[in-house]
Amino acid sequence: MLELTERRLRAALGEPDARAAVTFLGTERIEVLRFADGDVIRYATLGMARQPMSDPTAPTADPFRGPRAELVLSVRGGRADTDKVLRPLAVLAATPQVEGVVVAPGASLDLGEPLWPGAPFSAVLVAEPGGLVADLELPEPMEAVRFFPLLPMTANEAAWKRVHGAAALQERWLAAGTDLRDPLRAPVPLAG
């Protein structure tokens, strides 16, 4: 299945120009692939979808049924040392295995530290899949692999999102004309 997942990423994003692998105690290996497309760099996880995400309250985990996902982060290149995001992305991708979290659109994932050195972001908002990389259908009974875009959030944006919701934060970003790919962007105004 990982081969099919990587093939889908390559079809949508081109050939990766770098890759790194991270293994955490008690988890399977997560790779992060780097794709350069003009001034935009995309980082995609590979390995998160190996196992379906399962409800942590379920008595047993089904090895076939359950949502599967990979994560995709897009940033403008040359403005910050974003290549240091490889390990933090792998940490986020391991969250379902380590913490029993089901990643879905509208969810927040928080590292508690900057995504890369000097980044004003320590959290990400999980956006709707399907725009950049189409879902990868798998044979029954497995669910499709969905490729979730990640939108970096400042600490204040993450706190505001917890109170007002993901849709309200996205509306603020849109109204302010926020460039969510800018690795040095300022936080969106949240007062009022």
The C-alpha atoms of residue 44 and residue 150 are separated, in whole angstroms, by 10
The whole-model pTM stands at 0.94
- Predicted confidence at residue 100, as pLDDT, reads 82
- Domain boundaries, given as residue ranges, for the chain: 2-175
- Predicted confidence at residue 56, as pLDDT, reads 66
SS3 content of the chain, % helix, strand, coil (to 5): 30, 25, 50
Which tokens go with 41? 């760099």
Answer for the pair 94, 30: CB distance below 8 angstroms, yes or no: yes
pLDDT along the chain (192 residues), means of 10: 93 94 82 93 96 77 85 93 92 88 93 93 95 93 95 96 96 96 93 71
Q: What is the DSSP letter of 16?
A: -
Report helix angle 166-175 to 155-164, nearest 10.
Answer: 120
Over its C-alpha atoms, the chain yields an Rg (Å, rounded) of: 16
Which tokens go with 148? 């979730």
Answer for the pair 146, 159: CB distance below 8 angstroms, yes or no: no
Sign of CA dihedral 111, 174, 67, 51: negative
Sign of CA dihedral 151, 153, 159, 163: negative
